[in-house]
């Protein structure tokens, strides 16, 4: 097991309380089909564990395998600047088979974002450095593929199916 090299901080995208007994961190790729499966599992885990679980998401776009992964990650960060990271995060995963430049702009419109500002942020790659920073921090922590999970700062390499992950999280959440 390796440890998370950059601890969770206010700069991260976090759902749940800092007082939660267990933190699940994912390095994810919006176009990765395995991350798409994990997305649903994480939603179910959040429902099952409630306030005991804090979930953190960091970008890890695998650009060679997924041509829209980096664009999608930058779109999520652009939405975050408008206070709508989780809405865009969910939309991207729920529509991951339809990712394109056009669809991502349409998602922004449907989420009520300032589309001209959003489009400018994407065109000028304003959030590219944030995405790359997440990616490099993942590499430093031993992430080599997606989804890459850490539980309470330790790399989790077991199966991430619902039952196995729930068992691992429950052991730590009490």
For residue 99, give Cα distances in angstroms to 70, 128, 140: 11, 18, 28
pLDDT tens figures, 128-174:
999 999 999 999 999 999 999 999 999 999 999 999 999 999 998 76
What is the assigned CATH class of domain 13-173?
alpha beta
Task: Enumerate the domain spans of the chain.
Answer: 13-173
pLDDT tens figures, 20-69:
999 999 999 999 999 999 999 999 999 999 999 999 999 999 999 999 99
Residue 69 CB neighbours (<10 A): 26
Q: What is the pTM (predicted TM-score) of this model?
A: 0.96
């Amino acid at each position: 097991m390796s440890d998370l090299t950059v601890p969770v901080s206010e700069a991260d995208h976090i759902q749940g309380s800092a007082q939660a007994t267990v933190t699940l961190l994912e390095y994810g790729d919006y176009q990765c089909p395995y991350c798409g499966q994990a997305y649903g599992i994480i939603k179910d885990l959040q429902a099952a564990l409630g306030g005991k679980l804090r979930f953190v998401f960091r970008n890890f776009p695998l650009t060679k395998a997924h041509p829209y992964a980096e664009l999608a990650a930058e779109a999520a960060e652009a939405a975050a600047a408008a206070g709508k990271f989780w809405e865009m995060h969910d939309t991207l995963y729920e529509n991951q088979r339809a990712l394109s430049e056009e669809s991502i702009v349409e998602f922004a419109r449907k989420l009520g974002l300032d589309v001209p500002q959003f489009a400018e942020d994407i065109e000028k790659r304003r959030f590219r450095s944030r995405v790359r920073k997440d990616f490099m921090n993942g590499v430093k922590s031993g992430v080599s593929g997606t989804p890459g999970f850490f539980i309470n700062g330790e790399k989790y390499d077991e199966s991430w199916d619902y039952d196995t992950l729930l068992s691992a999280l429950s052991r730590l959440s009490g």
